[in-house]
Structure 1
């Protein structure tokens, strides 16, 4: 490829398309993501056919990207994409084409229309339609599940339950993966916008607002995120009013985090909130927690807290054991990676793990959307259904109409 062609890169969209094409053609696993409130797009590629399964010992892992389903596997291990190839770019800066790695430059020599058609062909041929996963999408079934949860709360078995559902969308003929991802980046700057592809396992895209754990240098971070409202008006952060049900729902999640700290005798932590945060067209209540791992002599806090927190009460319920058993017994579909966790590990001395929310599983000719709703004794089943519809729309509107 000659230098003139490289310097004629028209946009960052072309580089993004090239990365998708490289990943899908490799036969291996790859991930692309942008962390909340940053302008850094990151890509890793693990060309090996057989992916690592790893224990959740984050501090011991090499650089890579971890993916864990909602339900524990028998061996309690996660999928791990090693960063055999790593690339990043700043979305708010001009691309200097001649400085791009050769393995990206080679793809940029191809016409843009060819890249897009190849990505469309590859995404349909390297994924498969598996299982009767759609049966979790009927409104009547979800309403009954919510009502069953409310009864269990009234009987004292549960304090809170988070039932989920699915929604199936047919992939449009003009489905444009690169454009869909770009729109998520632009629309959800405060979310973890991500895509991962693991052959024979799954292909997912999402924009999660919820940190599970984060470690940066000596500091550990987590958050409690719960309560949902649609953002309305010119200044939704100022005009929002929270109901007692939503306030209590979020407080339950915060108390669970504090209880986890107590279990490991950790008393030195900072808690800030709750405050209202904006995630796309939705508002949530959020509290932030911070721990100095050096001062508390707890360098493995990230791994310990992942084990204690997952699945969080925000995606499962409380008490956790009883809530998890309720969902396993009464939900009519496999959550797969929805409400599991994922994110970059030990990349540039940071680990950032997020709950896999606002996500979709891309299959050969359709996308399966997932959404849950926090149910307490004050819940209205119809409103909980409406909440899941709003959550599905976050990803679904861009899959149905990549130019939205």
Structure 2
């Protein structure tokens, strides 16, 4: 985006034209007395933003390098939240009602692909508290401004939720003020991430705390293995949390380009609702969907990158059940469900995963939130059988996961959607970072090996933080 504003900086020609066209297009739709969402979209010559602007306090950011797709949402025009076992069904009903009441205007080729962001916690019973304050259990989010970059083009969408109590002039004025503040924001973040942190090197960490401790976590693995040998369940995903406290405030914006450069196969995301900042570079898509196609990642089984191939028991006990569970979840919603005969390696610097793509054709009328309701949580983040594993997790994990192992993404028109599982993440609050990692435990798991696996999974965020 543009450099720092100063008194001599000219207004771009296109911005003056956009201001006139925005008023012409939006004013009639804002003056009808109707309520509900309004979106006005333009194609604009705005360079891709590699991080949220420095001055904003609420944003939703998603970068998928493999599809050359980047989203930045600023402010909040409207949100819908839910919790409990029916949360995805509630969001689906509310979103369908919202779509029926939505006025959309596009100027020229300015047609948006994404419409709303979606994010949610792992556990349907999660109550936002402590570090996760400000993060809903599950929500749909319509930002005031949505920048969408796709293969070199940028579409800017102005959103509002029309309310008879707010005048059209105020809405348009607020839109333009927010846009100007973004265009003239400090754009000092390097695309290469060369200066990714601000004096937050390893020597400036003065507090490091594990929860649970390494010894306690290994004891928990042993306990879970014993429960599996007694046939209480077949698999469970156990997690660890590492807290780092720095002498200086963490430069979270500098971390995003570093993660994009070093983990180009991962989806980068950054979310803030005004308090904590969730940052992730996740290798796992929960699903990508259109009316004609659905794709899921079966990602389970981790081993060091220097190892040519894992023990065969990992594929049999940990990976294959995840593939089968995804197939079973899609069965009532899809036809032509296809998987490859054997897993392939997915290499990510210091570690590799066993990976199998699952592809299918959605049945007519199937909606993304219906797919989500069937899929989440997959055994890759929960366990098998699902309810027995979730009960074990609730009884034995000593902290709330929050959005870690939940998912974040977007919903669009024509059943288009893309959601990524929130892995390799950090929750940042000023000078403190909480890092999360987990491992799938089966009856053949070795506690020490599983501990080392979580250490490898913590490396991406540790490297981005420590430099």
| Higher-strand-fraction structure | 2
Alpha-carbon distance change, 15 to 74 in structure 1, aligned in 2, over 3 angstroms: closer
Q: Render the CA deviation track for 1:236-291: whole Å, top value 9, x for unaligned.
A: xxx721212221210010111122234x2755312235211123432111111222
Using the size of structure 2 for normalisation, the TM-score is: 0.68
Q: Corresponding residue for 1:177?
A: 252
Q: Is residue 112 of structure 2 the alignment partner of residue 44 of structure 1?
A: no
**Aligned-partner SS, 1:170:** strand
Which ranges of structure 1 fall in alignment gaps of 5 or more residues? Answer: 96-100, 122-132, 233-238
Q: Corresponding residue for 1:188?
A: 263
Alpha-carbon distance change, 336 to 371 in structure 1, aligned in 2, over 3 angstroms: same
**Aligned-partner SS, 2:393:** helix
Q: Render the CA deviation track for 1:161-196: whole Å, top value 9, x for unaligned.
A: 111010011245263222211101111111111000
**Aligned-partner SS, 1:289:** strand
Q: Corresponding residue for 1:79?
A: 139
- Return the alpha-carbon distance in structure 2 between the equivalents of residues 281 and 114 of structure 1: 26
RMSD: 3.4
Does the 8 Å contact 1:13/1:182 carry over to 2?
A: no
Q: CA deviation at 1:308?
A: 1.9
Alpha-carbon distance change, 278 to 157 in structure 1, aligned in 2, over 3 angstroms: same
**Aligned-partner SS, 2:59:** strand
Q: CA deviation at 1:20?
A: 2.9
Q: CA deviation at 1:110?
A: 5.7
Q: Is residue 445 of structure 2 the alignment partner of residue 396 of structure 1?
A: no
Q: Which has the larger radius of gyration?
A: 2
Matched length: 359
**Aligned counterpart for 2:364 among listed residues 278, 289, 297:** 297
Q: Render the CA deviation track for 1:94-142: whole Å, top value 9, x for unaligned.
A: 99xxxxx884554554666799xxxx99xxxxxxxxxxx9662411111
Q: Is residue 336 of structure 2 the alignment partner of residue 268 of structure 1?
A: yes
Alpha-carbon distance change, 87 to 349 in structure 1, aligned in 2, over 3 angstroms: farther
Q: Corresponding residue for 1:322?
A: 388
- Return the alpha-carbon distance in structure 1 between the equivalents of residues 187 and 426 of structure 2: 26
Q: Corresponding residue for 2:202?
A: none
**Aligned-partner SS, 2:241:** strand
Q: CA deviation at 1:15?
A: 4.2
Q: Corresponding residue for 1:140?
A: 215
**Aligned counterpart for 2:274 among listed residues 199, 207, 211:** 199
- Return the alpha-carbon distance in structure 2 between the equivalents of residues 308 and 93 of structure 1: 35
Matches within 5 A, 1:61-100: 63-73=115-125, 78-89=138-149
**Aligned counterpart for 1:250 among listed residues 281, 298, 319:** 319
- Return the alpha-carbon distance in structure 1 between the equivalents of residues 441 and 421 of structure 2: 19
Q: CA deviation at 1:21?
A: 2.4
